[in-house]
Amino acid sequence: MRIVHVANFYGPNSGGIKTTLHELGRGYLKYGHDFIYIVPGSQFLQEQTPYGRKITLPSVMLPGSGNYRIIRSNKALRALILELAPDRIEISDRFTLRGIGKFARKQRIPTVVFSHETLRGLANRFLPAWLPRTAMVNWHNRRLSALFDHVVATTEFAAAEFREIGAKNLVKIPLGVDLTNFSPEHRTKSYREELLEGSQFLLVHCGRLSPEKDPQRSIEALIELRARGIDARLVIVGIGPMWKKIRLMAKGLPVTTLGYIADRKRVAAILACADISLAPGPLETFCLSALESLASGTPVVASKSSAVGEFLKIDQKYPAGAVAADNGVAFADAIESLLSRPRLRTVARSSAEALPWDRTIQLMMMLHGIEGIGSKAPQAITKRKLMAAS
């Protein structure tokens, strides 16, 4: 089977979208399928990668986005899709690529759209209160659901706004984590001491520095912790439109800003060496970096208004982290509480082990109606049961 995945906001410095595409491609190839991913670039280019055939189309830069691009011509995109003749189409942008659903339906090509964002959360945060925000979100979601055969949400948090409108084609399929590259085994005393620079506790913030992710919360929490006499240092991995603001906030504080790190092994080592990983984004519908932290044996403190608490298993007796209100004091409280709890690293790793990428791939192939997905397939799960469970 040939699967074509189209995604905007994919680029050299992107995180979750790029990881998702690569892992989907790696998984589909593993089971013998053809995977092609189409993403924005500076020019038309084709290349074979370990994740499938990558095609870049000419694109435009979004002002103020931190170098994010979107494909310039959806007409050219549609022509390319016809030429590729896919059996299935996957979409990773519910906004600029929504029209591909209608186009694919005319061509009788089954489609899946990933809902990577909470539109309700974005509307409530960035649109003025006088607008009919709920009606606007519901209209968009109904339209999106009607244009695609399946809407994939990765968490209950992401699924909620589609459940509220009664979408019948909603499927919940969690993303996964690379349990080999991200591992507690990458924690070394020497690298930890290098990152600590003489401090006692190491905090890490790994993610895009953009307004909707509230990266300043991690610095606010550090300031509060140090005011309490807790000798902590913060390492920030990532870049984005708030890069300059974050560096200005960090001036004079024990904060190391490393920018974007392309070397996944180095990122894995940083996460493994930390005491606590911070995920302050209040609108996160999954947050792969938080899951990668857990796989590295590092507990996570996340915004209680995001989806991260779902895989931290906050409602269980021994959660893999904590959630906090969206302010620095609350985050500091949660961090301080976790620092006093032993054996959290084992719990963190165990939580991540429940979400391997291979499980995601198997569920996606069931959704696509692919038969014979191998001996590792979950027993007694059919496409019909998958839809019913979601």
Q: Do the two domains 2-176+356-389 and 184-353 of this chain adopt the same fold?
A: yes
Quote the pLDDT of residue 378.
Answer: 39
What is the edge-to-edge ordering of all strands in the sheet holding 276-279? 255-259, 232-237, 201-206, 276-279, 300-303, 321-324
pLDDT (tens digit per residue) in 42-85? 899 999 999 999 999 999 987 766 677 889 999 999 999 999 99
Domain ranges of the chain: 2-176+356-389, 184-353
Quote the pLDDT of residue 64.
Answer: 66
**Closest of 322, 339, 340 to residue 331, by C-alpha:** 322
Question: What are 268's two structure tokens?
Answer: 């894995």
**Closest of 354, 319, 316 to residue 338, by C-alpha:** 319
Low-confidence ranges of the chain (pLDDT < 50): 372-381
Q: What is the dihedral sign for C-alpha 71, 95, 11, 91?
A: negative
> 65 forms bridges with which residues in the sheet?
none
Question: CATH classification of 184-353, choosing from 3.40.50.2000, 3.30.365.10, 3.40.630.30, 3.40.190.10?
Answer: 3.40.50.2000
**Closest of 83, 80, 84, 78 to residue 104, by C-alpha:** 78
Question: What are 269's two structure tokens?
Answer: 């080592």
First-to-last alpha carbon distance for the chain, in angstroms, is: 25
* CATH 3.40.50.2000 fits domain 2-176+356-389: yes
* Residues 6, 55: Cα–Cα separation, whole Å: 10
Quote the pLDDT of residue 384.
Answer: 59
Residue in the block written with tokens 């905090």: 203
* Residues 319, 235: Cα–Cα separation, whole Å: 24
Per-residue DSSP letters for 72-112? S-HHHHHHHHHHH--SEEEES-TTTTTHHHHHHHHTT--EE
Cβ density class 170-194: b for 16+ within 10 Å, e for less: bbbbbbbbbbeebbeebbeeeebee
Quote the pLDDT of residue 387.
Answer: 63
